[in-house]
Amino acid sequence: MRQDQVNGSRSPRWYRALLDLIYPRECTLCNRLLIDTSLESLCHRCREQIEPTQGGCLRCSAPLSRSSSFQNDFKNSCYYCENRKWSFGRAYCYTAYSDVAARASRKIKQANCEALAIEIGKMIGEWLLERRDFDGGYYDWVVPVPQHWMRRVALRYNQAEVLAENIAKTIKRPIRKTDLFRTRWTEKQGTKSIDERLTSVDQSFGCRSRRQLHGRKVLLVDDIVTSGATANDAARALCTAGVGRVDVVAFSRGVGAVSNKKPSTEEKLLNHAEC
């Protein structure tokens, strides 16, 4: 991958054209050549296939059918969260974890696909600004879901942090990266059941700077929400530290088929996405 793709920089038009001739850029998802485009790591075809979810649960952002969305406006809950007590206020998830979006969700976890994470972070930020139910000025800080320090040392890359940096820049809010931390190592959540996920991440986050956090409103950023366990425990830690409100932003919502009906299997709900 070319260096300007990794850094997400926007070169002058003549310089980019010259580089494209010598070292053509490729779409991270389909490997098509990117010629004379403002997009750094996505071709227009793949970009168009990552569509924002229309409607959805007002709490957990699960995609719902039109009739279920109508009921959700009044009940403020859906099948996926009606029996859950979330520590966060609501979740904004850009798209459903399926097809091209699922491939992008897996790619941004890789350090060599940082340019894609930068692109998606900007995309989410622009989408949030267009929403009537979102007010960026309401939040004091944008906070990424952190990695355990051992994982961070090993990987030297955190996709949630890259997303948060570019969302914060787009909506013009400050970012804080050091207040929230992992208190213990947790295994990857992708192959676990819902109950196992909830147990695995329970009490796995803590907070520093409690006095500075008191009464603040925080926008918590992660790459994927599936069971909601990670976002919920991170929000719990922030609220315990005195934060007034926590809302969640994620790229994709991994609930499997878009339906207001109960999934036939737990695997359908998990859809092989990480929490």
pLDDT digits (tens, 9 = 90+) for 139-196: 999 999 999 878 877 888 999 999 999 999 999 999 999 999 998 766 565 555 555 5
pLDDT of residue 71: 46
Asked if residues 213 and 242 have their Cβ atoms less than 8 Å apart, the reply is yes
- Which range has highest mean pLDDT (12-21, 28-37, 113-122)? 113-122
SS3 250: strand
- CA separation for the pair 152, 150 (Å, rounded): 5
Instruction: Give the tens place of pLDDT for each residue, 51-68.
Output: 998 878 888 898 876 544
Instruction: Give the tens place of pLDDT for each residue, 75-94.
Output: 555 777 777 889 999 999 99
- CA separation for the pair 163, 144 (Å, rounded): 8
Q: Which of 99-103, 156-160, 239-243, 264-268 has the lowest mean pLDDT?
A: 264-268
As its CATH architecture, domain 52-270 has: 3-Layer(aba) Sandwich (3.40)
Q: Which of 195-199, 239-243, 256-260 has the lowest mean pLDDT?
A: 256-260
Query: Is the per-residue pLDDT at 16 higher than 60?
Result: no
pLDDT of residue 200: 59
Asked if residues 189 and 274 have their Cβ atoms less than 8 Å apart, the reply is yes
Percent of the chain residues topping a pLDDT of 70: 72
Q: Which of 15-29, 115-129, 151-165, 254-268 has the lowest mean pLDDT?
A: 254-268
Instruction: Give the tens place of pLDDT for each residue, 122-132.
Output: 999 999 999 99
Residue 138 CB contacts under 8 Å (≥ 6 apart), including other chains: 217
Query: Is the per-residue pLDDT at 27 higher than 70?
Result: yes
pLDDT of residue 248: 97
Where exactly does CATH 3.40.50 map onto the chain? 52-270
**pTM (2 d.p.):** 0.79
Mean pLDDT of the chain: 79
Query: Is the per-residue pLDDT at 268 higher than 60?
Result: no
Report, in this order, helix, strand and coil percent for the chain, each rounded to 5.
40, 15, 45
Query: Is the per-residue pLDDT at 274 higher than 70?
Result: no
Q: How confident is the model at residue 23 (pLDDT cuts 50, 70, 90)?
A: low
Higher pLDDT, 1 or 106: 106
- The DSSP H or E segment spanning 182 is strand 180-182
